[in-house]
A and B are shown apart, each in its own frame.
Chain A
Amino acid sequence: MQKFFTLFVRYNSYLLFIVYCCISFLFIKFQDRELLTKLRTNGIEFSAFITDKMMSYNYVLHLKEENDRLMLINTDLLSRVLNTETAALDNRNRQKILADTTLNASKFIMARVVNRKFSDRENMLLINAGRSDGIKKDMTVLTPQGLVGRVTTVSEHFAKVMPVINTDFKVSVVSDKSNSMGLLSWNGGREFIAQIENIPISSSLKLNEQFLTSDFSSFSIRGIPVGKVVSIKPDKLFYTVEIRLAVDFASLTHVLIAPLKIEPEKLEMIGENSSGETFP
C-alpha cells in the first residue's frame, strides 16, 4: 500500500493527465448528448454575441469609410438608373413612332437626335445615322407629327439636319382644304411659328387650315404635315401667313428619314439643283 501511494505521488501528473484525457474522450463520445449540445450552443451564441458587438464597434469606428463606400455604390446605382431610364425613354419614343399608323415607318430610317445647335438665327440638328445607314444628302427628316427638316451633311455614322426653323430652309407647301400653295420659311424668333409666303390674296385660305408638303418640293415627299394657320395678314398682292409648326422642336428626340426622291428629269426640266427650293 505504501508503495502504491509512493507511486501515485510520484506519477500523479501522469495520472492526472490520463484522467483528463479520459474525460476528454467521454466528451468526444457523448458530444451529441443534450447537455453538451446545449452547452456548445450557448457557447456559440455567446461567441456570436461578442463578435457581433465587436463588429458593431468596428462598424462605428469605420463609419466614414463605410459612408464613402456607400456613396460610391450610390453613385454607381444612380448612373445605372439614369442609363436605364434614358434607355426606357428612348424605347418609348421609338415605339411611339413605330406605332403611328399614318406613316409606313418600315420605309423610313429611324435616328436619334444626338446634338442640337440652337441660337437665335441658327438651328441645326445632329442625328445618329449616317452614310453607313443609308442616309444621303437632301433626304427628308420627319416625325409622325410633321416635317422636321432635311439632311444637309452626311458623315459615316452621323448626319446634319437643317430643320424647318432655320432661316435657310424653304419648302413648297399646300393647304389641305383650300389647296393654297406657298413657300414655307422661318424668319427667326419663336421656334414654333413659321411663315408662308406667296399665297395670293385671291386664295380662300382660312385660319386653322393645315399645310402639307407639296409635290412641287424638290426634296420632300408630299403630304407631310407642316403646321396650322394661326394668322393671316393681307398685303398688296399676297397674304402674309403665319403657321404653328406641327413638330415640337423643344422635345424632339427621335426622327424618321424618308427615302430620297429620285426625280432627275424633273430637276433637269426645272433647271435647278436639289439644294434649293423654288416657288411652284
Chain B
Amino acid sequence: MTKKYPYYISILFIVALVQELGLSHLTFYHVSPDIVTIFLAFISVTIGQKAGTSFGFFAGLLTGILSGNMGLNMLARTVEGFIAGFFNIPEDSHATTKQKSKRLYGAIVTAGFCANAVLVTGYNPLALSPAYRIFVLGFLESLITLILAFIITRLFLKKSLAG
C-alpha cells in the first residue's frame, strides 16, 4: 500500500485544486460538494487512520493556501481524516464491496459533518447562526457530498473497493 503513496499525494494535489478552483464555486444554499472529504475518507477507510490524518493535515494545508485560511483548514481536514479513520477496513478483511462502500459513505458523512463543525466555529463569513450552519448547512453539505461520492465510487472507485 505504501508504494501507492506518491500516486495518492499527486491525487491529493489535483483534488485540492479541483475543490478550491472548481467545486467551491458550485454553491447550493451556501454549501458546495466537497471532493477532498471523499478523498480523505477513501484514504482513511482503505489505508488507515494515521494515513488519513496525515493526508488530512496536508490537504488542509493545500486548500488553506489556495483559499487563504490555512490554520483552520488544516485543523478541520486533520479532524476529518482522523474521524474517517474510525471507519477503516483492515487490508486482510473479507468485507464485500457493498460493505466497504457503506463504510466509505459513513466515513464521508461523519467526517464531513465534524470538519464542517470545526470550520463553523472558527469562520463565519456569512454571519449565519452557528446552530443553523452546523446542523442545517452541515447536513446539506454532507448530503450533496454523499451524492458526489456515490457518483465517484460508481465511476472510479469500484475496483479499489472490490471485495
Residues of A whose CB lies within 8 Å of any CB of B are 12-13, 16-17, 20-21, 23-29, 31, 36, 39-40, 42-44, 46-47, 50-51, 54
Contact = CB atoms under 8 A, between A and B. Distances in A.
B87 interface: no
Contact of A47 (B20, B49, B85): B20
Contacts, number: 70
B82 A44 contact: no
A16 B54 CA distance: 8
A236 to B, nearest CB: 96
B75 A25 contact: yes
B82 A17 contact: yes
A79 to B, nearest CB: 36
B68 to A, nearest CB: 5
B52 to A, nearest CB: 9
Pairs of residues from A and B, 6 with the lowest C-beta to C-beta distance, nearest first: A28-B71, A43-B65, A27-B71, A24-B75, A24-B74, A20-B57
A16 B53 contact: yes
A46 B78 CA distance: 24
A28 B72 contact: yes
Contacts of B20: 47
Given A20-B54, A39-B70, 10 more contacts: A16-B50, A16-B53, A24-B71, A28-B122, A29-B71, A39-B65, A40-B65, A40-B70, A44-B66, A54-B21
B60 interface: yes
A39 B53 CA distance: 23
Interface in B107-146: 122
A25 B71 contact: yes
A54 B50 CA distance: 35
Contact of B57 (A23, A36, A43): A23
Contacts of A12: 50
9 contacts: A20-B54, A21-B75, A23-B57, A28-B75, A29-B71, A39-B65, A40-B65, A43-B67, A46-B65
Contact of B74 (A20, A29, A40, A50): A20
Contacts of B57: 20, 23-24
A17 B21 contact: no
B66 A47 contact: yes
B31 interface: no
Interface string B11-40: 000000100110000000000000000000
Contact of B78 (A24, A28, A31, A36): A24
A42 B75 CA distance: 21
A23 to B, nearest CB: 7
B132 to A, nearest CB: 24
Nearest to A29: B71
A13 B78 contact: no
A21 B79 CA distance: 8
A17 B68 contact: no
Contacts of A29: 71
Nearest to B25: A51
A40 B78 contact: no
Contacts of B54: 16, 20
Nearest to B62: A43
A23 B60 CA distance: 12
Contacts of B85: 13
A44 B68 contact: yes
